[in-house]
Amino acid sequence: MLAAARATIAQTIDCWVMTPSASGGVHARVVQPIPAAPEDEDWTISFVTSARSRKAAEIARAGCMTLGYQHANRDYVALDGQVTLVRDRAELAARWQEPWRVHFPRGPEDPSLALVRLAVERIEVCVRGVSPEPFGSRYLTVTRDAAGAWTIAAN
């Protein structure tokens, strides 16, 4: 199941990030996750954003979010977990990608640049050949405990 989730994620460039709004709803927008670095923990997903954005405010307030990935064949993966905003300039410089300059003209020193880091605690998978049939109407879920072990959840 985890391998199917990783394969689906690897086949997508962008994903949806969903954050709880202050009014009780959910705001969704597309982001481009950063490829994992060798020092990243297992199932930690990152992307950059403006620290002055509504997204950053919702992340700071709620401390949680969901990332949704969907492949053209309709397979999908949803990742939930705790999220933090990282403002460490050394880490931002190490992760810096030049195409981001269009949004952050001052580069990794741009004061509005922040790294969003999701520590995945729950994975929902709907992948052909892995999820129960009929495809699209049932999914599998795994959750991670405090020790980092994954358990299949009853659906």
For the chain, which residues make up each domain, given as ranges?
2-153
Look at residue 143 in the predicted model and tell me its pLDDT. 95
Residue given tokens 């490829």 in the structure block:
35
* Residue 95: φ, ψ to 5°: -95, -10
Give me the CATH topology for the region 2-153: Pnp Oxidase; Chain A (2.30.110)
Look at residue 29 in the predicted model and tell me its pLDDT. 96
- CB of 79 closer than 8 Å to CB of 36: no
- Enter the pTM of the model: 0.90
CA-CA distance, 131 to 38, in Å (whole number)? 30
**Host H or E run for residue 28:** strand 26-31
Look at residue 155 in the predicted model and tell me its pLDDT. 66
3-state secondary structure of 6: helix
Look at residue 71 in the predicted model and tell me its pLDDT. 86
As averages over each run of 10 residues, the pLDDT of the chain (155 residues) reads 90 94 93 80 90 95 96 92 95 93 94 95 92 80 91 79
Q: Where are the alpha helices (DSSP H) in 12-137?
A: 54-62, 89-95
How far is the first Cα of the chain from the last one, in angstroms, to the nearest whole number? 14
Look at residue 99 in the predicted model and tell me its pLDDT. 93
Q: 67-89 burial by CB neighbour count: b if 16+ within 10 A, else e?
A: bbbbbeeebbbbbbbebebeeee
Nearest Cα to 121, choosing from 96, 155, 147, 95? Answer: 147
Close Cβ partners of 91 (under 8 Å, ≥ 6 residues apart): 115
* Residue 154: φ, ψ to 5°: -75, 135
